[in-house]
Amino acid sequence: MAKIEKSILISAPVDKVFAFMAKPENLPEIWPSLVEVRNVQLLPNGGHCYDWTYKLAGVRIDGHAEWTEFIEDQRIVDKNESGIPSTFVWNYRPEDGGTRVTLNVDYTIPGAVLGKLAEPVIHKMNEHEAETVLANLKARMEA
């Protein structure tokens, strides 16, 4: 399983950043390879589950996400069993009058989709994608 950890300081209050990220429909706005989010449903824990389409190295992959943990203004844990098996942990904390967003991702590249030889390249692309998502979130929140 591959791992990514990225963090960014955003000059916006935690409640504003969290409120934006707590709506899965907003994700394609900041996530370049996330083609679509659909069938969003509210869960009893306050989080959501939804279907998504992602483009990885030119290959379209469909999956389903469920927020297994949802702590308002603090943390969202997004688990994907299908498509690209992965767990996204989003942490939000106040820092210097803004919000520190830390993203931790554990994922498995679907071997049938891209093969073992492509893993190092895909990992590098995913690291860049995580940085881009956070930079786009920062730009959106600070606009």
Q: Dig out the tokens for 22 from the structure.
A: 């707590």
pLDDT of residue 8: 98
Binned average pLDDT, 10 residues per bin, the chain of 143 residues? 94 98 97 96 96 87 95 97 90 98 89 61 87 98 97
Domains of the chain by range and CATH?
Answer: 2-142 (3.30.530.20)
Q: Dig out the tokens for 129 from the structure.
A: 């994608």
Q: Dig out the tokens for 64 from the structure.
A: 């389903």
Give the Cβ contact number of residue 17 at 10 Å: 23
Using CA atoms, how far apart are residues 16 and 14, in angstroms rounded to an integer?
Answer: 5
Torsion of Cα atoms, 94 then 18 then 16 then 55, to 10°:
120
pLDDT of residue 121: 76
Q: Which residues on neighbouring strands pair with residue 50, listed in sequence order?
A: 65
How far lies 99's CA from each of 24, 104, 134, in Å? 19, 16, 12
pLDDT of residue 112: 56
